Amino acid sequence: MAVRWPRGFRSAAAAAGIKSGGELDFALLATEAPAPWAGAFTRNAAAAPCVTWSRGLLGKPVRALSVNSGNANCCTGGQGQEAVVSTARAVAGEVGCSPDEVLVASTGPIGVPLRVELLLDAVPALVGSVAADATPFARAILTTDTVIKTSEAVLDGASIAGVAKGAAMIQPNMATMLAFITTDAQVPAESMQPAFERVVARTFNRISVDACESTNDSAFLLSTGLGARVAPGDFEHALQSVCADLAGQIVRDAEGGTRVVRIAVSGAPNEQAALRLGRAVAASTLWRAAAHGGDPNWGRVVSALGSADSSLDLGALEVNIGGEAVFTRGEPRASCAKVAAAMRADEFTVECVVGAGRAAAEILSCDLSPAYVRLNAGGTT
């Protein structure tokens, strides 16, 4: 079923020519009136100029959001910075607003000069064809994704709709590759940023495809307020369900991925420690290769945990894979046949009890296959 934007939002998509195959590669999201918004962005020092531009607009209501795929417009010097400004000006001129009411996002290869004139030429038709259907927008933002990623939640008198893209270069330090969340719920503008940051921390920041942080990661939450007033707790719960759904779709569409692996860490002294340990396992190339092969090489899990915490007490450690105990308090317990069978499932869980603490965290990750290497061995050629 096609996802429609909440009240007050419209979007359009075009094939501007950034992608060589004639696919949709330029999209616009517009609002009827200035809308408050919240954002989360990469902390990468090599952040693209679109990230710097949009991050600089935090706290200011916006009227539109422009996004192109097929070119990250990152590390492209002054030309790249001017491309962002030119795009914002062109969109603003057609929408009827100020350039500082236009958010900008880009995704694609790094270091390739953006032919911004292709975007500028496409802006008038783009603005003139906006509609409530989110599907063309969702398709225009894809790069190596194989499917569009959308999600929605219905509240009492309001709704939330989200669109995302991402399949690799995923271990966010804020959000995900790109995510656009919209709502017509009446929520206090001042509450949006802290609520979004909490949700991002619990969803987009807990996935890992390849432990590679992107330069263009951006997530946006916009509200028109044209729907019903929603209790803050109910809104945040629904927002989290949408973002968690999108985050899961990203991992399931991971480049070369064949199975989803949940890394569940418990017994940690605090949540940050649990997250650090979970991410270490999710980032282990050795473990991810074993996960692809269905090889119950649980020593790679233990090794990853030990590398993340040199004070880890093996005498208190318990590791289960697919519900099967493999290591308990310093002793191997593996039944290799049973563990290997569990690892052949489309999705399985690695449970790591690391002590007697009360904190826990879960990272959603995937396996590492030859297809991932093939895809990324020629990413710009």
pLDDT of residue 104: 98
Taking the C-alpha atoms of residue 297 and residue 340, their distance in angstroms, rounded to an integer, is 9
pLDDT score for 374: 85
Give me the pLDDT at residue 52, please: 97
What does the chain come to in residues? 381
Report d(CA 75, CA 199) in Å as an integer: 30
**What pLDDT, on a 0 to 100 scale, did the predictor assign at position 335?**
76
d(C-alpha 363, C-alpha 211), whole Å: 11
| Helix/strand/coil for 161 | strand
Helix axes 77-95 and 116-128, enclosed angle (nearest 10): 20
Tell me the Ramachandran region of residue 349: left when phi exceeds 0, alpha when psi lies from -120 to 50, beta otherwise: beta
Q: What is the pLDDT of residue 61?
A: 98
Task: Work out the end-to-end distance of the chain between its first and last CA atoms, rounded to an integer number of angstroms.
Answer: 36
Element (H, E) at 218: strand 218-223
CATH number of 9-252: 3.60.70.12
The catalytic residue positions are 176
- CATH-assigned architecture of domain 260-377: Roll (3.10)
Over the chain (381 residues), the average pLDDT of each successive run of 10 is 92 96 96 97 93 97 97 96 98 98 96 97 96 97 93 97 80 68 97 96 90 89 98 97 96 90 98 96 96 95 97 96 94 87 95 97 94 80 54
In sequence order, what are the residues at sequence separation of 6 or more whose Cβ sits closer than 8 angstroms to the Cβ of residue 381? none
Between CA 317 and CA 278 the distance in angstroms is 14
Domain segments of the chain: what residues?
Answer: 9-252, 260-377
pLDDT given at position 91: 98
Distance CA 173, CA 180 (A): 17
Paired tokens of 100: 């500082």
DSSP assignment of 343-356 equals HTSSEEEEEEE-SS
Q: Which residues of 303-313 are buried (b: 16+ CB within 10 A; e: fewer)?
A: bbbeebbeebe
Task: Compute and round to an integer the Cα radius of gyration of the chain.
Answer: 22
CA 158 to chain centre: 24
Query: What pLDDT score was predicted for residue 336?
Result: 82
Report the alpha-carbon distance of residue 210 to residue 68 in Å, rounded. 23
Average pLDDT for the chain:
94
